[in-house]
Structure 1
């Protein structure tokens, strides 16, 4: 899959040829909207270009995960780069470059998806393939807006190509309209996508990594949870748990979810397909900008998160995260196995005293991120911006935990135990129904928050959970966060969201600053 869907297509991204009243120039080497959008191959190449937007710096290559993780109480900044530190302590200005990169990259995804959705219906091609192309465009646009809504709260909602210059300056949409569109896009994606691509007929046959009906169903359920539409969300999760969209299951080894050797496994509903130059070629780093056929497909997250002396060490796990992994021993009296898959720490009782290929080089109390680094998978020092570890956007463990949450909110608290326990069983933790029987709804909410904190640490999930649970509106919860991560001491109301980039506000008179952090 890595060799196919990330093919770059510069021509499909162009609006048209340049012209003025005296001279018209057309570059014969670059297709225009007038000459493209003719064939099945054009449709497939265009949808491939949307996937390419997933692996640049403003999306999953580096900056989006970094700016999501930095705002949680599982990670704290430890970087010489001011932007990363200011995001982590909730004081980032509107002029931040990285905050603008996230905006630009996600709207690139939206733009490319809108081109596919606007032009592919008119192409004479195999209908099943057309449905799959459209389904992927809906899914990727839904994912782009899901990220934008969680990152900025309120943004312009663009679903069609501009007819003329009057549509170049879209206004800020309401939060409700944005989320309705996200839910609509995932619903349309689900209706058009296959369970997998193993037996389809067409150039996408056999591809692994494309959006599927399972990915769309999972993201639809997740979006519904974020809007507290619990009953509707539970229906989506029940389909996945029943195997209607494929045989998803938890991997026996938790670390398989972050290992480049076990990508696209049975737990993965959707992941971004990174690869090293040795695997797929490329000579120029895929930071972003104008499409370039020589781009690599690498992730920069590994070197960004890697420990001091092995990478940039821009983030550290919080001591609260480390301590919470020690709140329960496993059924055989050992430490939670997710600890050492998530955090690099000196644990002689667990036979873990090495970092990369070296004996532990730090003090015994120092801790560093391990998840999404190449520690254990590669050379002694992170190669410069050369990680091929796929970013797991959605995994089956999240489906189980979200379903438990939906059931609890529906008053079916006792039913939630079993779905949480599936995740705990993988970590070899005791039966929750035995150690904490008969929890009420409020107690189960807190338990789910704890379970999610450990299962999804350093996966860009925590800040979204804190926001959607309303913790920033609860003085007791804010005090709790401040006790665990000093960066929350400089948080002020609304700044859990990122500001609308100043450059966008300057260029678009119809765009409003973020109402949350005015």
Structure 2
């Protein structure tokens, strides 16, 4: 919740209830629900747990972006075949026993639980210790908790709900269980699934309440990571768009655009807004983000001291690869695990037109010395390199590819924070001959490339994760106005985002980069899904690797064409898309066993 969430360690509460006199039984290792909290600082500590849960191992701490989203939407291709549940995600065929299906469910519902604990403790505090002088502060915290609970439920519903609410259609299909109180026994954990319409109505109600309770609230520099009125309204508008309630979405989106004080950051900042640069955090475009601090308290990143760790470790998975000490791409070194690389098909989507690169003998190689990074025996074909650099300069390739990815032999990274060397193909693709048939580009967005990630913490990321930013709002507004029959405004807001990507004035029409229509040609090469759909393309390119595209694929029902476009995964083979089951993840088998009232999604029985 706070910029440095120091309050987190006392915030993960083990609530203890006892029928005996509390003075006769005293434990020092837990807080009791009979006497905690006694002031607003302690209540804030309870709320911190609901924020901090986003950095748990199952969510943005480790698995959510780099495995759940990246594999399902094919942002990444997985180069590690030793984890079958992960492989199953890459071919869009997870089962109810899939460990990641279970972990995500667990992590999101734990977040719901933390919010429910807060509401329970807020009621307790106001009844026993609060007064008129603290009521406003408590209401503000309640607003934050309503937002967080809505966010957890939005993710749950989009992953596990039987179908998206389509106006009024699908309202009676199976959503996820709505739980609003702390469990007080086994019986209270037996909860049937609410209807899809009920879940979305609950999400919207939570966000409406949050926006009201947070109206006009501002924070000092030490609290700028907390939820605001505009974050609540932005997520509310997204919920309306996701459920095709265009009339409700329009005024909320316009309110955020016109009155939040937010603006698209300039391209120079945008390019580095997804790496560990403190000056870029909580910027002029960000509506809500998850704070990440490199914590050097010891241990193994997110896997160590999970109750107090402020870091994340997703960067282990999409870690950058560089050439080896001998100057060869045949013995590359990963700055972490290096289990993933940018799926080759994504390069064409960004407009990258070149074939696989070729290597030549380095005319400057000194055979009297050992091969090394400073004495390269082979180099990339200079003509290929010149073309790649020209494509960046002249805009042939979407500039956001340079934001999201690192190109072998063109870009560089550091193993030690001081000495830099060229990027190589992903180290874990396999044999040299197999690497020769893949592009294997490294991730840049959210990746650690200024040092080996093990040198931080160790295994600690440093970049904050955006949950909601203004570019997303602009594109949601464009989609809304298109469905409201105002294609002119829709096109303009698509072009605003597009202009920023090309370092043009956002609000000034520019024929050199603007789309002329909503069906204009995009940068995507030979792409039947995105090639002539600027709205789809801009949401894909602008929000690449930020955890949005999977939901767009599902709500637009373009999964089959996406599967055909990507075709295969390196470790899983052919993508197994099935419209009857692939748009929704199965309910985890663990939940089905624990909760006798739970029903499975169709196609997963």
Please confirm whether the aligned pair reaches a TM-score higher than 0.5, indicating the same fold. Answer: yes
Contact 2:453–2:459 (8 Å) recurs in 1: no
Which of 257, 267, 274 is the matching residue for 2:285?
267
Residues 209/54 of structure 1: CA separation in 2 closer, same or farther (3 Å cut): same
What's 2:111 paired with?
Answer: 109
Q: Distance in 1 between matches of 2:444 and 2:103?
A: 26
* Distance in 1, Cα, partners of 2:196 & 2:403: 36
Q: Is the CA contact (8 Å cut-off) linking 2:262 and 2:285 kept in structure 1?
A: no
In the alignment, does 2:386 pair up with 1:300?
no
Say if 1:508 and 1:136 are closer, same or farther in 2 by CA, change over 3 A: same
Deviation at 1:102, TM superposition (A): 1.4
CA contact (8 A) 2:301 2:313 kept: no
Counterpart among 194, 212, 236 of residue 228 in structure 2: 212
- Tell me which of 152, 161, 181 is aligned to 2:160: 152
Q: For each residue in 1:103-126, what CA deviation from the matched residue of structure 2 results, as whole angstroms up to 9, or x when unmatched? A: 122111111111222331451141
Task: Give 1:2 deviation, angstroms.
Answer: 3.5
**Among 420, 441, 457, the residue aligned to 1:367:** 441
* 3-state SS in 2 of match to 1:210: coil
Alignment of 1:110-125 (within 5 A): 110-122=112-124, 123=126, 124-125=130-131
TM-score by length of 1: 0.87
Does structure 1 residue 484 correspond to structure 2 residue 561? no
Any gaps of 5 or more consecutive residues in structure 2? 162-174, 322-333, 354-390, 426-435, 505-509, 521-528
Contact preservation (8 Å) 2:233, 2:252: yes
Structure 1 segment 120-131 matched on structure 2, within 5 A: 120-122=122-124, 123=126, 124-125=130-131, 126-131=134-139
* 1:418 corresponding residue in structure 2: 492
Give the match's secondary structure for 1:277: coil
**Aligned-pair distance for 1:15?**
4.5
Q: Say if 1:340 and 1:509 are closer, same or farther in 2 by CA, change over 3 A.
A: same
Cα 1:299/1:165, change in 2 over 3 Å: closer
Partners of 2:303 and 2:599 in 1: how far apart?
A: 28
Q: Describe the SS at the equivalent of 1:34.
A: coil
Q: 2:193 aligns with which of 165, 169, 172?
A: 172
Gap change, CA 1:433 and 1:444, over 3 Å in 2: farther
Tell whether the 8 Å contact from 2:53 to 2:111 is kept in structure 1 after alignment.
Answer: yes
> 2:454–2:460: 8 Å Cα contact kept in structure 1?
no
Q: Distance in 1 between matches of 2:567 and 2:537?
A: 16
Contact between 1:195 and 1:245, CA under 8 Å: does it hold in 2?
A: no
Structure 2: distance between partners of 1:92 and 1:369: 24
- Cα pair distance change 1:480/1:167, threshold 3 Å: closer
Q: Deviations over 1:303-323 (max 9, x none)?
A: 111135222223222222111
Aligned residue number for residue 202 of structure 1: none
Distance 1:30 1:220 in 2: 36
CA distance in 2, matches of 1:6, 1:31: 14
Query: Alpha-carbon deviations, 1:313-364, whole Å to 9, x = none?
Result: 232222221112127978944532211211121374xxx3557621233479
Residue in structure 2 matched with residue 252 of structure 1 by the alignment: 267
Q: Does 1:336 align with 2:388?
A: no
Residue by residue, what CA displacement relative to the aligned partner does 1:472-518 show, whole Å, maximum 9, x if unpaired?
A: 4xxxxx24531334256312231232221111111110111123644
- The verdict on how the C-alpha distance between 1:67 and 1:480 changes in structure 2, with shifts beyond 3 A counting, is closer
Q: Is 507-516 or 406-415 further displaced after alignment?
A: 507-516
CA contact (8 A) 1:413 1:440 kept: no
The DSSP-based 3-state class of the residue aligned with 2:177 is coil
1:463 lines up with 2:471 in the alignment: no
Distance 1:346 1:381, change over 3 A: farther
Equivalent pair of 1:114/1:159 in contact (CA under 8 Å):
yes
Counterpart in the other structure of 2:54:
54
User: In 1, are the aligned partners of 2:79 and 2:340 still within 8 Å (CA)?
Assistant: yes
Distance 1:345 1:59 in 2: 28
| 1:315 and 2:363 correspond | no
Alignment of 1:32-43 (within 5 A): 32-43=32-43
Q: Secondary structure at the match of 2:223?
A: coil
Quickly say closer, same or farther: Cα 1:410–1:285, change in 2 above 3 A: same
- Cα RMSD of the aligned pairs, angstroms, is 3.1
Distance 1:162 1:228 in 2: 34
Contact kept, 8 Å, 2:88 with 2:94, in 1: the verdict is yes
> Shift of residue 283 of structure 1?
5.0
Aligned CA distance change for structure 1 residues 270 and 436 (closer, same or farther; 3 Å): closer
Q: 1:368 to 1:438 in 2, by over 3 A?
A: closer
Matched, 1:67 2:63: no
Aligned residues: 495
The separation in 1 between residues aligned to 2:16 and 2:392, in whole angstroms, is 58
Counterpart check, 1:241 vs 2:257: yes
Conserved in 1, the CA contact under 8 Å of 2:57 and 2:303?
Answer: yes
For 1:218 and 1:155, locate their aligned partners in 2 and report how far apart those are by CA, in whole Å. Answer: 23
DSSP 3-state at the match of 1:305: coil
Match for residue 407 of structure 1 among 481, 499, 507: 481
Question: Against the structure 1 CA distance between its residues 504 and 168, is the aligned structure 2 distance closer, same or farther, given a 3 Å change threshold?
Answer: same
- The question of whether the paired residues in 1 share the 8 Å contact of 2:15 and 2:32 is answered with yes
Distance 1:395 1:10 in 2: 28
**Contact conserved, 1:121 with 1:130, CA < 8 A, in 2?**
no
* Aligned-residue offset at 1:29: 4.1
d(CA) in 2 for partners of 1:84, 1:354 = 27
What's the secondary structure of 1:490's corresponding residue? coil
